[in-house]
Amino acid sequence: MHRGMTALACGAVALAAGAAHAVAPNVGKVVTFKDWTVGCDNGLACQAVALMPEAMPEDSLSVVVKRAEDTNAPITIELSGAAAKSDRYRVLVDGRAAVSGKTQRDSDFITLNGAEALKLMRLMAKGKTVELQDGSGVKLGSASLAGASAAMRYIDAEQGRAGSRGAIVAIGKRKATAKKSAVPTITATKIMPTDNLPDASALVALSESSPCAADRFGSTQDTAYSLGSGQNGAQALVLLNCGSGAYNFSSGVYVGTMQAGKWTFAPAQFDYGATGFGEESKVPIIVNADWDAATQSLGGYAKGRGLGDCGSSESYVWDGNMFRLTSATLMGECRGSLDWIPVWRAEIKLVD
């Protein structure tokens, strides 16, 4: 049975002012079927993950299934459990040997591709458990297959393969085919950094007037980065301390503009997400923010718990006016998987 579906955290809410020229991304969703969760991005590349039992026993097996959007795109299955003590492995479904081979040197994963992966996945879709062993028969891990068939049918349907010979489980007589969905390209002018950045007094004044002031406690850290020169003068990205927890650090995101020797600040504009702590929030929030000047990208991730087996991540590019979503992942189930599912991607084109 279908247990629920989760959209990327905070919903697709654009900060309206200044965002009228950018269409809000139509971010994909993640769906859970019993012990499997699955999702596809806007380009129709899909990924399914086996969820571990709530107690997460030591012999749990990580199983990740990926399939790109092309008609002839192969399936990839990644299996990871305890370290093998031999250079061979075998995979069993309901106790029966399904596939075997040599382990990859210096790799923590057993990776299957193409026809071999398709064969295994079709067997798994009919089974109850999958087990990984090394060549000597030592168990390296096992996973439940409850919901695996439904997850594969979801991929078949989303990619337009259901009823065709190219489907994983929803196989039909039609010629192999798949839907197409264009991935957007975001064109942005390259930033030419300047030495003009807000000084400590400007950042203190901003922090005292910001809604973040109520959430700042203990030692605080604010940072500023050059966004080059805009139409009205030098610009800077400011990440203002806006509270922290055991494993998440929140930053209020502002863009500063220098005019006549004075800095003024306004909440940064985003085409998706970064909606703050509530609908009435007046400042966008990025959790565990990181700025990459080389790609002029602002990234962040929010962990649902310290283990990092659930949460969401986003990355944005500065296009000269606002931050635009370039990638997003989501894992809505806190059940042992560290492989968050991609739900959005865009190409970035930086021009002079």
Tell me the domains of the chain and their CATH numbers.
Answer: 44-158 (2.60.40.1880), 185-351 (no CATH)
Contact yes or no for 122/99 (Cβ under 8 A): no
Mean pLDDT of 153-168: 97
What backbone torsions phi and psi does residue 136 show, to the nearest 5 degrees?
-95, 5
The per-residue DSSP string of 11-44 comes to -S----TT-TTSPPP---EEEEETTEEEEE-TT-
pLDDT on residue 231: 83
Q: Which helix (H) or strand (E) holds 286?
A: strand 285-287
Integer Cα distance of 150 and 148 in angstroms = 5
Residue with tokens 């998987």: 337
pLDDT on residue 3: 37
pLDDT on residue 21: 52
Q: Is 275 helix (H, G, I), strand (E, B) or coil?
A: coil
pLDDT bin (cut points 50, 70, 90) of residue 23 is confident
The residue that leads in pLDDT, 312 or 13, is 312
> pLDDT at residue 40 above 80?
yes
Contact yes or no for 89/82 (Cβ under 8 A): no
Query: What are 296's two structure tokens?
Result: 């002029």
Strands (E), 124-173: 129-134, 139-144
In tens, the pLDDT along 288-321 reads 999 999 999 999 999 999 999 999 999 999 999 9
Q: What is the DSSP letter of 212?
A: G
Q: Which of 80-84, 197-201, 280-284, 317-321 shows the lowest mean pLDDT across its residues?
A: 280-284
Q: How many CB atoms lie within 10 A of CB 102?
A: 11
Q: What percent of the chain has pLDDT over 90?
A: 78
Residue with tokens 């096992």: 142
Integer Cα distance of 250 and 259 in angstroms = 28
> pLDDT at residue 5 above 90?
no
pLDDT bin (cut points 50, 70, 90) of residue 8 is very low
Contact yes or no for 44/69 (Cβ under 8 A): yes
Contacts of 242 (CB under 8 A, 6+ apart): 210, 212, 215, 216, 250, 251, 252, 283, 285
Backbone conformation region of residue 147, classed left if phi is above 0, alpha if psi is from -120 to 50, else beta? left
pLDDT on residue 218: 63
Distance of CA 91 to the CA centre of its chain: 28
Mean pLDDT of 102-109: 77
Integer Cα distance of 82 and 173 in angstroms = 40
Mean pLDDT of 6-23: 42
Burial of 311 (0-12, 13-18, 19+ CB in 10 A): buried
Q: Is 206 helix (H, G, I), strand (E, B) or coil?
A: helix
pLDDT bin (cut points 50, 70, 90) of residue 166 is very high
pLDDT on residue 38: 98
pLDDT on residue 20: 41
pLDDT bin (cut points 50, 70, 90) of residue 14 is very low
In tens, the pLDDT along 186-239 reads 999 999 999 999 999 999 999 999 999 888 876 668 999 999 998 888 999 999
CA end-to-end span of the chain: 52
